[in-house]
Homo-oligomer: A and B are copies of this chain.
């Protein structure tokens, strides 16, 4: 169990949601929906939809994030994640490590751009690809 000071506590989740979240919590890096499925076959999972439906809810609750550039998912590793509208990820292309961080200044600059263009901003995706410190050495 990792830090989840989110609105939804662990025991408000359904069985499937809990299993999927546990799987992501236990994983060192991001997992695809299908690899989550494979890890949960022992628990009775049979079909991708069981995973996708749980993931949809977990993302809605802010407990899980989707990495667009990877078609994969990670458990949220941050407190107060929801307090900042915009989250960013750094993804190591060698070892798969993912760092989640926020930068309010970046968020504000993008919000300013949106305001100036009258673009009604719903969601912001920021993903940095590269090599983590361990992998550059």
Chain A: residues with CB nearer than 8 A to chain B? 68-69, 88, 90, 92-93, 99, 101, 103, 105-106, 109-110, 113-114, 117-133, 136
Contacts and interface: CB of A to CB of B under 8 A. Distances in A.
This chain: copies in complex = 2
A125 B122 contact: no
Given A124-B127, A125-B127, A133 B119 contact: yes
Nearest to A122: B130
Nearest to A92: B119
Nearest to A70: B68
A117 B99 CA distance: 10
A103 B99 contact: no
Contacts of A125: 68-69, 125-129
A105 to B, nearest CB: 6
9 A-B pairs with the lowest CB-CB distances in the bound complex, closest first: A118-B133, A122-B130, A120-B131, A68-B68, A125-B127, A68-B69, A121-B130, A123-B129, A120-B130
A109 B93 CA distance: 21
